[in-house]
Structure formats: structure tokens, C-alpha cells
A and B are shown apart, each in its own frame.
Chain A
Amino acid sequence: MSEDSNRTPAIEADRLCLTFDSNDGPVHALKDVDLTIEKGDFVSFIGPSGCGKTTLLRVIADLEQPTGGAISVNGKTPEEARLAGAYGYVFQAPALLAWRTIERNIGLPLEIMGISRAEQAERVKHTLDLVGLDGFGRKFPWQLSGGMQQRASIARALAFDAELLLMDEPFGALDEIVRDHLNEQLLQLWKKTGKTICFVTHSIPEAVYLSTRIVVMSPRPGRVTDIIESDLPAERPLDIRESKRFLEIAQRVRNGLREGHSYD
């Protein structure tokens, strides 16, 4: 990678707006969002439902078209970035194809992108190891627990080695014990791979635990109310969540969310 591309921010939004037309008049899903995400950051988007955090992620992924402002992904338009395979997307649900084994599910993007069979097999094996699912490749999705299915879907997003990982409440449907475990694993994965991760959540502890930066959003219109830099150490055992610094940051996020609500 050249020096120049290293200095390009992963994502840059400038007064980004997105308005949906509905029967009750226009809905401002995003209004004047300014945001810069550097390469290698772990950024969480947090806010109540309707604050536009998922919409913002979908705009980055070129799954929604903004109605105003500008956004760039790796210095390109979202569409160019998508066509270049710049990001892997993890949905709220595992979204695995029921008729494919875990291996073949992870190989799906590689097949579509026309990667050779030998390389497909190698990458599938590598990513299975990365998410701790080695030995489960031949299983069908329904034979795995919910947490394992979500790990498989993360492996699928990692399979084609995109620099950017977009995650839309990936652990929202899982119970707390599984969630803690996956949070730990995700942090390790992020350290190992050095990817840029955008992570949508509505859990304050999850956001504080994982992120280097926390983007607090509020609804009607969807906008960014606060951006918090976390100075927690890179090494984060689960019990860091009881530390004073952690609770301070969590308090600031909570205040940010509360301020957003007082607009109503």
C-alpha cells in the first residue's frame, strides 16, 4: 500500500443527508452528518432506533443513495468502493444460505468474484480458523447455534479480505453470554487483521468496550450529536468494564444519548 492511500481516510462524510418520502411527509433519516473515519479505527455508531445509524452504514455500503451532501469510501464513491469489493457487510441476522454448508457459504462471495477454486479453499480454511469455526465447515447452518452462525457470517465478510468491515448490530439477537464472548473475539480479530470496522449497536457497554471512537446519534432528524474518542488501552479484558475510566466514557455516551432525546 502506498503512503498516499494510507493517508486517505477510510470514510469521509460531508453534510450527508438522506430523506425518505413517506405518506406522512418527508422523513429525515440523516441530516448534515459530518464524519471522518481513519483507517484502522474501530468506530461504533450508537443511538436509539430511528436515529439513522443503520441508514448511515447502508449509505457507506451503497445500499441506500444519499439525497444530499457528499460521502467517500477509500477516496472513492460508495458505488466504486462496492464494485471494488472494498467492504464486507455483516447483517443483524446471519443471513446464511440454508442449502449451502458453512464452507460453501463463506466461499459464496469468492465464487461470485471469480476467485480460483484452489484459492477459495485456502481462504475459506483461513477465515474459518480466524473466527474459531475450524471443523464446522461441512455443517449446514441449521446444525450450528446462533452465535456460531453469526461467526460464520463474519467469516464470510472477511473471506475476500476487504479492508473495511461494516457490521449492523451483528450480536443484537444473541444472548448476553454469547455476546460477551463474541465481543472479545471480535476485538482480537480486529487487532490481528488491522481492519477498519464500523459497528452499529444500541448497547452502551458494547460500544465502549469495542471502540476507539464512539459516534452518538439521535433521531428526528437522524444526526451525529457527539463523537467520543476512547482512551481505553488496546488490551481489553472483559473486566475492564468495571474500571473507572470505562464507566466515565459510558456515562458520557449516556449523556449524549439523553441530550439527543431532549430535542423531542
Chain B
Amino acid sequence: MLLSCPPAWWRRNNAVTGMVNRITPVAVVVAAIMIIWYGFTVHLNAPWQIDRYEKAGTEWQMRDLVRDTMAQERPVLPAPHQIVAEIWKTTVKKKVTSKRSLIYHGSVTLSSTLLGFVMGTILGIGLAVSIVENRAMDKSLMPWIITSQTIPILAIAPMIIVVLNAVGLSGLVPKAMISTYLSFFPVVVGMVKGLRSPDPMLMDLMRTYRSSRLQTFWKLRLPASVPFLFASMKVAIAISLVGAIVGELPTGAVAGLGARLLAGSYYGQTIQIWSALISAACMAAILVGVVGVISHLTLRRMGLRA
């Protein structure tokens, strides 16, 4: 029995080798970043630390300096383990309802990210369809869409918040609108390309079947655009998160990862800033990953090799 199994064993062994092969480069890069980071932690935090030693008149050695620069309360650059400890303290050790819980703040940001992303995707698809199906729209809309992205979001975000507040919209929706403002763009660009992707031969084919515009759209253009849509959505969800964080800055820093960043910078809480930053980056990675998985499953279901 066992003798008949070498292929399976071989495969499993290969899978392990494959894993090692994939993880090794990532691990090397992470290790390199860590070494550089710790180096800079000591270097950047040293002047303040030395200053303190001198004021207190303490004798110090290199090992004291290394130890103390990694344990400051408001370091110029916190050490990675300080950030990890802070994230641990504010996620696992805090109640979710607490105003100091990163999970609470993260969920606030996540909800406006997702709302903004959904609105941005729908808006993007809608605009792309009208651009592809209508020549006048193509000529008139596209320049404005491109112009919209040349305005720095930091400049326009407070305006959007203020204007929407004036018409009685506050809370989640204005923040989500900023995410929408950023995320519709890649969807429009990708979707226009996708809807125009069918080969002229396929367009001719549909013509020989006397297919109506609507039929050509549903049966040819739309399915052909799906891979393009997902590629755009991966970009869109990441910048939706950026939009949500930027949108939290001018609201007076009440809740959300953006609020944590702002509060941290008011009080010089660099560890708090960095932990919010790292959480945002992890959230972005997870969101892009989720879109990637949905994309893979959808395309495979459609019979496309994804």
C-alpha cells in the first residue's frame, strides 16, 4: 500500500518545498526591514536619550542606550515590538466598545471604506457604460473624470465634509463620499477598457446574428469586461481605505483610524500613530486579498482561466 503511494508523498514534499520557496524571499525582505528599522530606532531616538542621561548625570553605556531608545514613551521612531505591543494592547486587551480600542476605530473606518467602495464601483460601472454606449458622453465625460483625479484629495476632502454637513449629511456618508471620489476612477478606466475589449471579429459576429445593442451588451461586452472590473476593484478598494482615512481627518478626529492618526499627532503619541498606520496597512492588504479571492472564484466559475 505504502509502496504505491510515492507520487502522493512526492507531491506533498513538493508542496512543502514550494511553500518554503515562496516564503523565503518574503522572510528575507522582512528581516532586512526589521534590522534597518531597529538601527534607525536607536539612531533617531539617541539624541533625546543622551540629553536625558546628561541632565540626570547618569553614567551610560552603549547597551543602556540601545535598551532605553527602544523603550521611550514618545520616541521619534518607535521600535517594531513597541508597535506590536500597542496593537495588542488596543485590540485584544481593550473592549471593542472602548474609545481606545483599535478594533472600534478600525470598524468605523472599514464601514465607510466599504460603503465608499460599493458606491464608487457602482458609479464607475455606470459611467463606463454610458461612455461606451454614447459617443457624446465619451467626448464630454472623460476629460472631467481625469481632471477630478488631479485635484489633491487632501484639499477637497474638507470641502466635501463641510458642504455635505451644510445640507444635513454627517457621519458615515460624507466620509464614504471621499472614498467614492477616489475609488470610482480606476473602475471607470478599467471598465471602459473591458467593455471595449471584445475583438472586432466578435462584434461582427454579433452583427451577423442581427443582435441588438442591448443583447450585444449583455452577452458580449459585459462578460468580457469582468476580468478588467476585478482588476480595477483591487485598486479601488485600497484607495477607498485611503479616502476613508483622509475623510476622518477634518471631522474633528472623533472616531476611525484617521482620528487615531490625528489624535496621535496632536499629543506626539508616535506609537499610537504607527500602530494605526500598521493596522490600516493590514486592513488594506486583507481587503485587496478578499477582492482577489472573489475575483478568482468568479472567473473560475465563468470558465476563464484566472
Residues of A whose CB lies within 8 Å of any CB of B are 61-63, 82-83, 85, 87-89, 91-93, 95, 97-101, 108-109, 111-113, 140, 142
Contacts and interface: CB of A to CB of B under 8 A. Distances in A.
Nearest to A110: B209
Given A95-B202, A97-B223, A99-B302, A63 B207 contact: yes
A95 B305 contact: no
Q: Is the interface of A mostly helix, strand, loop or mixed?
A: loop
Contact of A82 (B201, B208, B224, B226): B208
6 contacts: A63-B204, A82-B207, A99-B223, A99-B303, A99-B304, A111-B219
B207 A91 contact: no
A108 B209 contact: yes
B205 interface: yes
A59 to B, nearest CB: 13
Given A95-B199, A98-B303, A112-B210, A89 B205 contact: yes
A214 to B, nearest CB: 25
A142 B305 contact: yes
Given A98-B303, A111-B219, A142-B305, A91 B201 contact: yes
A140 B219 contact: no
B215 A112 contact: yes
A112 B302 CA distance: 20
Nearest to A98: B304
A113 B209 contact: yes
Contacts of A100: 303
Given A89-B205, A97-B220, A98-B304, 12 more contacts: A63-B204, A82-B208, A88-B208, A91-B201, A95-B205, A97-B202, A99-B226, A99-B302, A100-B303, A101-B303, A112-B219, A140-B303
Given A85-B210, A97-B223, A91 B204 contact: yes
B216 to A, nearest CB: 9
Contacts of B206: 112
Contacts of A93: 199, 201
Given A91-B201, A98-B304, A108 B219 contact: yes
Contact of B205 (A62, A91, A99, A142): A91
B210 A82 contact: yes
B304 A63 contact: no
Nearest to A162: B208
Contacts of B17: none
A109 B209 contact: yes
B208 A87 contact: yes
A89 B208 contact: yes
Nearest to B212: A112
B211 interface: yes
Contacts of A109: 209
B210 A83 contact: yes
